Amino acid sequence: MDIFNDPSTSFFGLNSFEPLSRMLGPDPPQNRVIPPQQETELKKESVSSETDQHKSKVDTSIEERRRRGKIRSKRSRDKKKLYLQGLEEKIKELQKENFRLQNLVANYRSEKLEYYGEEIKTFEKDSRKQKLETFKNFIDPETLEFKKITKETLGDIFAKNCKFQMDRHKNFMDGIFKILVNHICPFDKFFKKCPSKEYTTDFETIKELSKLEDKECDDFAKQNNIDPLDVIISRLKPSRRQFLCMKNVFFKKKLQIAEKYREGINLLFQAKDIFQEASVEVCVTTHFMFNSKVFSDEEFLKKRSLRDLFSAPNSFEDFWKVQTQPVEYANHVFTDPILGKRARKVLPEDKKIDGFCYNQFKLPE
């Protein structure tokens, strides 16, 4: 094809009839006047674009703050969780230590009880030992003959030793009666939650106390002179029905039982006063008897004293002739005026506890 003679083409492959403006492209921008309406729209578009960019930055910063806040919250929760775990472990350790100390106290009390038991065993032994030493001051242990010359009289030796013996007997009696009172009840925890007088606290007070934490409750009780028993009950968080049952049934019965024990302990202490008064009279009478010269020291220390030295006295049976008789104390829970109504309702007959036997001591008439 002859491109030079082809009317549809021209030199360089362009149409010779195509305008030069199309060949060179659009004119360069001139200072053209933009209509006001178009200018306003352009400004709005520019402002909108800047606003969108600002919003995007704000949204990004908010998301970043939220992310950091979540991280801080998680750290705080983890820290609190570790703190609470540490407190729980510390509480467990303190509870173990408390249990250990309570066990030590219980062992100490048991050892004291054994000590008093040993005191019971050795009291007679020491008395016999002292009597034997006194006997040797007057009697020749080989010939069993009375020594004609002695440094001290029997009355002097008794006066010198009676204070020691009376002090030992006082400690012995105090220990025996402490053991009796500490173990007067077969269940040592029975009186821990027993009111000392009629229980009058209302349910609303217990309900308010139960809302407090243990430490707050203890401080509040100290500041307001609240009975420790109220604090113990509030920690149980009882319902109204449970509280009324405790107040009107259990506490009332415990108070009645405590009064029986109180009456018996008072009689026991009265008996102790009588025993101590009689023991002082024995000491004074014996001292007077040794110094009255009605009998000589030799007559006091004859075969009768030998027999007394080597025989263990049993005043319980030999002198006082105490009569021992087993007595059964029946269980009257179904007919009890306080417990009976509720016991008949909740306690089946086959769950009833039978009575128990105790030994009754009586002096012959």
- What's the predicted TM-score (pTM) here? 0.64
Which two three-digit tokens encode residue 201? 């606290």
Helix intervals (H) in the chain = 20-24, 36-138, 154-182, 203-210, 214-223, 228-236, 240-245, 251-291, 297-300, 303-309, 340-346
Is residue 131 domain-resident?
yes
Out of 60-74, 151-165, 261-275, the most confident range is: 261-275
Mean pLDDT of the region 36-64: 64
Is residue 252 domain-resident?
yes
Residue 154 has pLDDT above 90, yes or no: no
Q: Are residues 224 and 362 in the same domain?
A: no
Q: Are residues 283 and 334 in the same domain?
A: no
Among 247, 256, 242, 253, which residue's Cα sits nearest to residue 338?
253
Q: Are residues 307 and 324 in the same domain?
A: no
What SS3 class is residue 348? coil
Among 242, 232, 226, 144, which residue's Cα sits nearest to residue 191?
232
Is residue 143 domain-resident?
yes
Where among 272, 296, 313 does a domain terminate?
Answer: 313
Among 243, 262, 251, which residue's Cα sits nearest to residue 190?
251
Q: 280-311 burial string, b = 16+ CB within 10 Å, else e?
A: eeebeeeeeebeeeeeebeeebeeebeeeeee
Residue 278 has pLDDT above 90, yes or no: yes
The per-residue pLDDT for 253 is 92
Q: How many domains does the chain have?
A: 2
Task: List CB contacts of 203: < 8 A, sequence separation 6 or more.
Answer: 240, 243, 244
The per-residue pLDDT for 267 is 96
What SS3 class is residue 291? helix
What range does the domain containing 99 cover?
91-313
Is residue 54 domain-resident?
no
What pLDDT, in 10s, does the model give residues 343-360? 888 888 777 777 788 999
Task: List CB contacts of 331: < 8 A, sequence separation 6 or more.
Answer: 352, 353, 354, 355
**281 — phi, psi (to 5°)?**
-65, -35
Is residue 59 domain-resident?
no
Mean pLDDT of the residues in the chain: 79
State the first-to-last Cα distance of the chain, in angstroms, to the nearest integer: 166
For residue 109, name the pLDDT band (cuts at 50, 70, 90): low
Q: Are residues 138 and 153 in the same domain?
A: yes
Is residue 49 domain-resident?
no
What pLDDT, in 10s, does the model give residues 232-264? 899 899 999 999 999 999 999 999 999 999 999
Residue 71 has pLDDT above 50, yes or no: yes
For residue 13, name the pLDDT band (cuts at 50, 70, 90): very low
Q: Are residues 361 and 213 in the same domain?
A: no
Which two three-digit tokens encode residue 117? 């038991």
Q: Are residues 326 and 219 in the same domain?
A: no
Q: Are residues 300 and 318 in the same domain?
A: no
What pLDDT, in 10s, does the model give residues 298-320? 787 765 555 565 565 678 888 88
Is residue 50 domain-resident?
no
Q: Are residues 199 and 343 in the same domain?
A: no
